[in-house]
Structure 1
Amino acid sequence: MITPIQSPVANPQSPLPIPHSGFHILQYWDTPFFVEILLLALTAPVLYFPGRFQAAEIAFAIGILAAGWFWRRLTIGVWFRRTPADWPIFFLFAVMLPIAVWAAPGALREQYAIPRTLILIWNFFLFWTIVSHAGRRRELFNLCVAGFGGIGVGIAVAALFGTQWSNKFPVIGPLLDRLPKPLLGVFAGAEDGLNPNQLAGTLLYVLPLLVALAGYTFLHRRKEWVNWLPAGVAAAIIGTVLILSQSRGALLGMGVGTASMLLVNWRWGRWLLLAGGLAVLLGLTVVPLDALSSSLETAENVQEVAGSLTLQGRIEIWSRALYGIQDFPFTGMGLGSFRRVVNLLYPLFTIAPDYDIGHAHNFFLQMALDFGIPGLLALLVLYMMAGATIASVWKRGDKVWASALLGVLVAQTVYSMADAVAMGSKVNFLFWWLFALIFAVGKMQRQPSTLDYSRATPLEEISLSNGATRPFPTTLRPTG
């Protein structure tokens, strides 16, 4: 059994590590965790770009990832950490994912379904790596959060030089035209540049979390700049690129997510959030989609929502998506197939046949098209379990993390109503990383005496503030 290095205790009320006289970088070293991260890094190119590798090499890469589970069992004593969402996740990957590949037409299976499946397999192993280790030690959780934010910054910086920007806001357009684009055409499947709306949806996984952490630490621990400055700089970079994307859906999601983080800390604000959510759900069931589409067709001017698709075009796509779900309710149309099948079965009238719509421009509709209604239900259960976990984190008193993660979840849900970072897309791994962090935070409440020091006696608090240590457990006892 490999024992991680014991570390000084961080203040549980601070979402970031707190430096002190006993701080040393080795306290963040954990051999079981870093070996699994190395395996993920080595196999990512193979599963993300399968066209460049032989079938045997792809199978070997999957075998390496599977070997990581044996390594985990050997070193920390578990195959994986149990979460409230185990059943829907395993149902989605073990049952509906093979069906989604089988349901795809032959040519589209090779072009879309299989490559996306390989990416999802990698995402599956990433999820369990984060969940299994981030809940063991607070240092590992902080590393996972830092990596989450760092990847967001990396994507934002790369996007500055490889995105085909739209010109929805006249003030921003001339500035974007001056940016060099050395990465234009580098990304496979986006030879004309990254889609700004997909970019915005990707950044939205990270930005609300960074804003919450930077804001909290700046307000409450301003003198300890190492706690808030990195998150603040990262949030500024990502926020700038989000604004440059001019994605109204993402900007709306960011606004609603930020408002949720603020309102949830106010008693009447929580009731307001609940009422708003119920109103949205009621509105979705009452508003007739066909009538709304007809009214938009007669409108003289329909503003763009994103890219070259108008709101009218999106509603037409949504109506075709509903037709597809009605015709293929149990199996879906095949993973990634809707973008091609739609013009064969349900021709679009306001969108040119040679225009690649990419997806249903609604994450939940796209989920039903890819995995059928059972897959959509599994996703909804995953969201509900994440919401319940955030609520439990709030109840135990860790309101900073609960507010931050709620803000991300709300922001992404709002964005996903009008766009999608589809399952199996190259940046969809951030979806699974986010949910892994949510469930990892939930695991920290399993043994509050060792992972939550908010109940320390005054004498213990004085000792801890002077740099005393209290051992972290190397593992958490599996539950459920």
Structure 2
Amino acid sequence: MPPLMSYHMQVAVLLATISIFVAPFRASAGLRASALLVALLLLIFLWWKTRVRTIEFPKGVLFRASVLTWVAVVFFYSLIGPNWSLSLVSWRGDVITPLLAGIVFYSLGRSPRIVAIWLVALLVGLLVLTAMLLIEPFQPGIATYAPRYVNVGWLSTWLVMLASLLPLAWLLRWPKPRLALWLAALATCVVVAAAWLTANRVVWLCFGVMFLAYLTMNKRNGGLKSSARIAAFVLCPILSVGLFYASSTARAAYYPEAENGVVGMLRQDDRYLIWEAAVRTIAERPFTGYGFATEEAKNALSMRFAEPWFREHFKQAHNFVLNAAIQMGIPGAIAVLVLFAGIGYGFLCRRHVSPQVCAVAACGVALVGGVFLRNMTDDFFSRHAALLFGALVGMLFAICDWRDPTMYAKALETTSQRLRDAEDTAA
């Protein structure tokens, strides 16, 4: 590859890698956003220099409509909210930056070599996060608990998303397949260990749902006999629920006031009170909300509690759909549901292309389902978690499309030839 294209593309890939590597750490917002922006500008420069389209967006009318709906709805409610400047800043970080990540990763992720760089970076980041979790373990009883990896809630959401990528170790053709499998085995062990250390209960249910979704959608290329598939369908829910209960038992040790152990802790979960208060808050402003990412929205919920401790700590609905409804009314909640439905549908539409594409698309469905379920009991669909979600969605769509022998092979070959011609001219 001549110097012009080689240098700029390599820098763009490096910047994209940096954006997802630093994302889960504190004070990285500026770095990850800047890295993505510069990567996009490099792609625009190459487009202008070579007259070859280097920026792409995943195909699918409903998928594109769902993304644009989410962007437009949040933008509209940011403008009409009580603090439009603050809302627009959050709109940029929670909506535009993840969208930018999806575009950059989709445009760049067109070869196993580039995808391998990203996966190795995510694995290294996972090892670093797990080491930090061992150094600064979960401490729910300490009010000043503020680890450098933000908190275990964000970390558990990160783990759910990374788990959806594990099948890529055997779905893609790597130069060293055995090494890829060993790295995937290492990643699996670390994900499970880190998930246990977070003391999060829902993460095990997410893993179970994701595994079942993958098996269901990937039935043509799963590599399992019918008996093994049936056994997996039976054992997976049992294992998932068992780990949920075991994690709940471990978590109950942090809350000695919980009566009757796990059952008592589940019955006394404050989320029931929060969800009830959230519904009442939404009912007061069902179509206007209290403003996207504003203090008014947080206070509208927290002020419904009489106890000072509740008012201090319960400032979000612990459900990202309810949170969207509090901030933007029912249209905001619908926009969130439309977004996830559109992304999931985009992956489902690719299942008929080929068994290989179907298997990668199944990873995408598992990603969407896992993130959605994880945010049913909390709200971590923002900031760096939303950025990683956008990046992984773009990457998986890219893998599906460059593996598609019918829709994209000829177009990619034509584009590659034009790039080579442009590179020869530039050289």
TM-based fold match above 0.5: yes
- Find the partner of 2:74 among 97, 112, 127: 97
Indicate if the aligned counterparts of 2:298 and 2:315 stay in contact, CA closer than 8 A. Answer: yes
The Cα of 1:224 is off from its aligned counterpart by 4.2
Secondary structure of the 1:205 match is helix
Distance 1:224 1:117, change over 3 A: closer
Secondary structure of the 1:385 match is helix
Secondary structure of the 2:379 match is coil
Correspondence for 1:83: 59
Aligned equivalents of 1:394 and 1:317: distance in 2?
Answer: 39
Return the letter of the residue paired with 2:78.
V
Aligned equivalents of 1:52 and 1:471: distance in 2?
Answer: 37
The Cα of 1:310 is off from its aligned counterpart by 6.8
Indicate if the aligned counterparts of 2:214 and 2:363 stay in contact, CA closer than 8 A. Answer: yes
Deviations along 1:360-382, one digit per CA (max 9) or x if unpaired, are 21122223334443343333233
Do structure 1's residue 195 and structure 2's residue 154 form an aligned pair? no
Correspondence for 1:242: 195
Distance 1:162 1:119, change over 3 A: farther
Do structure 1's residue 474 and structure 2's residue 416 form an aligned pair? yes
Indicate if the aligned counterparts of 2:58 and 2:394 stay in contact, CA closer than 8 A. Answer: no
Q: More deviation in 250-259 or 401-410? A: 401-410
Equivalence map 1:330-409=2 (5 Å): 330-337=287-294, 338-344=297-303, 347-348=304-305, 352-357=309-314, 359-395=316-352, 396-398=354-356, 399-409=358-368
Equivalence map 1:117-128=2 (5 Å): 117-118=92-93, 120-128=95-103
Indicate if the aligned counterparts of 1:99 and 1:371 stay in contact, CA closer than 8 A. Answer: no
Return the letter of the residue paired with 1:237.
V
Return the letter of the residue paired with 2:282.
I
Return the letter of the residue paired with 2:310.
P
Correspondence for 2:283: 326
Deviations along 1:12-60, one digit per CA (max 9) or x if unpaired, are xxxxxxxxxxxxxxxxx67336336538959999xx859999xxxx9x9
Identity %: 17
Indicate if the aligned counterparts of 1:363 and 1:417 stay in contact, CA closer than 8 A. Answer: yes
Indicate if the aligned counterparts of 1:367 and 1:375 stay in contact, CA closer than 8 A. Answer: yes
Return the letter of the residue paired with 2:65.
W
Indicate if the aligned counterparts of 1:203 and 1:242 stay in contact, CA closer than 8 A. Answer: yes
- Find the partner of 1:137 among 111, 117, 129: 111
Correspondence for 2:254: none
- Find the partner of 1:206 among 157, 162, 178: 162
Structure that is richer in helix per residue:
2
Do structure 1's residue 230 and structure 2's residue 188 form an aligned pair? no
Equivalence map 1:305-324=2 (5 Å): 312-324=269-281
Correspondence for 1:157: 131
The Cα of 1:403 is off from its aligned counterpart by 3.3
Aligned equivalents of 1:87 and 1:427: distance in 2?
Answer: 22
| TM-score (ref. length: structure 1) | 0.62
The Cα of 1:318 is off from its aligned counterpart by 1.5
The Cα of 1:407 is off from its aligned counterpart by 2.7
Equivalence map 1:448-467=2 (5 Å): 448=406, 451=409
Is there any run of 5+ residues in structure 2 with no aligned partner, and where?
221-225, 234-257, 419-427
Indicate if the aligned counterparts of 1:36 and 1:68 stay in contact, CA closer than 8 A. Answer: no
Return the letter of the residue paired with 1:316.
L
The Cα of 1:229 is off from its aligned counterpart by 0.9
The Cα of 1:130 is off from its aligned counterpart by 0.7
| TM-score (ref. length: structure 2) | 0.68
Secondary structure of the 1:71 match is helix
The Cα of 1:258 is off from its aligned counterpart by 2.0
Aligned residues: 372
Return the letter of the residue paired with 1:435.
V
Aligned equivalents of 1:80 and 1:266: distance in 2?
Answer: 30
Q: More deviation in 62-71 or 367-376? A: 62-71
The Cα of 1:204 is off from its aligned counterpart by 0.7
The Cα of 1:351 is off from its aligned counterpart by 7.8
Deviations along 1:220-248, one digit per CA (max 9) or x if unpaired, are 99x94212011221221122010111211
Secondary structure of the 1:353 match is helix
Indicate if the aligned counterparts of 1:101 and 1:334 stay in contact, CA closer than 8 A. Answer: yes
Is there any run of 5+ residues in structure 1 with no aligned partner, and where?
6-28, 168-176, 178-182, 188-192, 274-298, 453-469
Deviations along 1:141-173, one digit per CA (max 9) or x if unpaired, are 443444444444443333333453459xxxxxx
The Cα of 1:314 is off from its aligned counterpart by 0.5
Aligned equivalents of 1:197 and 1:387: distance in 2?
Answer: 24
Correspondence for 2:8: 31
Return the letter of the residue paired with 1:434.
L
Return the letter of the residue paired with 1:92.
W
Return the letter of the residue paired with 1:126.
A
Aligned equivalents of 1:300 and 1:474: distance in 2?
Answer: 65
